[in-house]
Amino acid sequence: MRILFLTKYPATGASSRYRVYQYLPYLRARGVDCAVSPFYSESAYALIYRRGRLPAKMLAVAAGWWRRLRDAWRLRHYDVIFCQREALPFGPLWFEKRVRRLGLPLVFDYDDALFIFKPSTSTPVADKLKNPARIPRIMDISHAVFAGNDYLRQQAAGYCADARTVLVAEDSDRFPPPEPHENRSVVVAGWLGSPSTEKYLQIIRRPLEQLARRLAAEGRRLELQIMGGGHFSSSVFSVRHLPWSLENEVAQLPRWDMGLMPLPDEEWSRGKSGGKARTYMAAGVPAVVADVGFNRQLIAHGRTGFLCATEEQWLAAMERLASSAELRTRLARAARAEVESKHSLKVLAPVFLSHLADVHRRYARRPEAKA
């Protein structure tokens, strides 16, 4: 089986890494011929989340379009075409339609509510080109839709008859087994993400400040470590910004006393697939997350983490974890076991392959007029 994976980002982009790149060694070891073509190159991905530099970003987009033109000419060499998000970020759906005209099985994969408009924090002019209505049209063109959670699958089912939940896997083996937590004079809370989602830390600014003041009364202090952001600051507690890399995740996350995942209570959040929380759990970091969407399936409240809907709940959960090393250790071990049994790469890579093989069997080369 020969599969062309069209990703939006290179391997450094979280969604592309989790939905495609991490599976490639497993697929290739089982005889699957995999080719990957990202729309954005490594240098372009490093650029697009920075503010300004519009001419350079335009050149990066033009390069991505050129890659897709080349991809269009080599489609016939593959048995399945797998689009991780849209083949092209805006414009007509000529690429997806060409795949269908050639009779090639087309998979559309998504793990975010792409059908809901979210303004850009780094390139506002790009908002004028965004058209979330393209997503249902892509689903309609596709033979199958792989969705990162049940909510996304339900949304896709209205447009594609073959919509499947394909959960996001976490390579838990890259993290060592959790060590027992200890109470220290500095309580380290951590947040993992990107510049586009760092703004959601504002949701819990007040609980963090309240926690910092209570710790100060005990002769302790709070430090918030942010990996992948760059802008959040506070005059009440220490904020340390860390550059993101896979190596830094492995080195830094196990040192955190708790991992935070605030989200707004809105429709867009229901499309999130629990990425931060799942990574915290794999690293042995007690997760304190927004009580919304897939987080409710992922986290067993009080056993593998805490679900929070109000500022009072955020403060209570963080304070409990800050005061008890035993509680942190217990939650960390239970969370790690949960990921290993249900969400690990070892468990979900065979499932991913079985879905791809089934799509190949069902929809192998039948030229169609659809689209």
How do residues 130-161 score in pLDDT, each as one tens digit? 788 999 999 999 999 999 999 999 999 999 99
What is the reported pLDDT for 105? 97
- Tracing tokens 């991992």 back to the chain, one arrives at 259
Q: How far is it, in rounded angstroms, from Cα 103 to Cα 108? A: 15
Q: Is 258 helix (H, G, I), strand (E, B) or coil?
A: strand
Alpha carbon dihedral 247, 287, 327, 343, in 10-degree steps, equals -80
**Please, what is the Cα angle at 13 between 64 and 75, to 5 degrees?**
45
User: Which residues does 245 contact at the CB level (< 8 Å), separation at least 6?
Assistant: none
The fraction of the chain above a pLDDT of 90, given in percent, is 80
**DSSP structure class, residue 178:** P
CA neighbor of 285 nearest in space, from 272, 297, 293, 276: 276
CA diameter of the chain: 71
In SS3 terms, 237-257 reads as: CEEEEECCCHHHHHHHHHHCC
Residues 101 and 25 sit within 8 Å (Cβ to Cβ): no
What is the reported pLDDT for 48? 74
What is the reported pLDDT for 60? 84
Q: Is 5 helix (H, G, I), strand (E, B) or coil?
A: strand
User: What is the tens place of the pLDDT at every residue in 287-331?
Assistant: 999 999 999 999 999 999 999 999 999 999 999 999 999 999 999
Count Cβ atoms below 10 Å from residue 89 Cβ, excluding itself: 18
Burial 195-209 (b: 16+ CB within 10 A, else e): bbbbebbebbeebbb
Residues 285 and 254 sit within 8 Å (Cβ to Cβ): yes
Q: Where are the alpha helices (DSSP H) in 30-179?
A: 42-48, 54-73, 94-101, 134-141, 150-157
Residues 166 and 177 sit within 8 Å (Cβ to Cβ): no
Q: Is the pTM of this model over 0.75?
A: yes
- Tracing tokens 């196990």 back to the chain, one arrives at 254
**Terminal-to-terminal C-alpha distance of the chain:** 25
Banded pLDDT at 45 (limits 50, 70, 90)? confident
Phi, psi of 13 (to 5 degrees): -80, 125
What is the reported pLDDT for 128? 61
Q: How far is it, in rounded angstroms, from Cα 211 to Cα 325? A: 16
* The residue type at 106: L
Alpha carbon dihedral 170, 146, 156, 200, in 10-degree steps, equals 20
CA neighbor of 285 nearest in space, from 192, 168, 215: 192
Banded pLDDT at 43 (limits 50, 70, 90)? confident
What is the reported pLDDT for 42? 87
CA neighbor of 89 nearest in space, from 134, 46, 48, 153: 134
Residues 355 and 146 sit within 8 Å (Cβ to Cβ): yes
Domains observed in the chain: 2-169+345-363 (3.40.50.2000), 173-342 (3.40.50.2000)
Q: Say what angle helices 205-217 and 311-323 make with each other, to 10 degrees.
A: 40
Banded pLDDT at 58 (limits 50, 70, 90)? confident
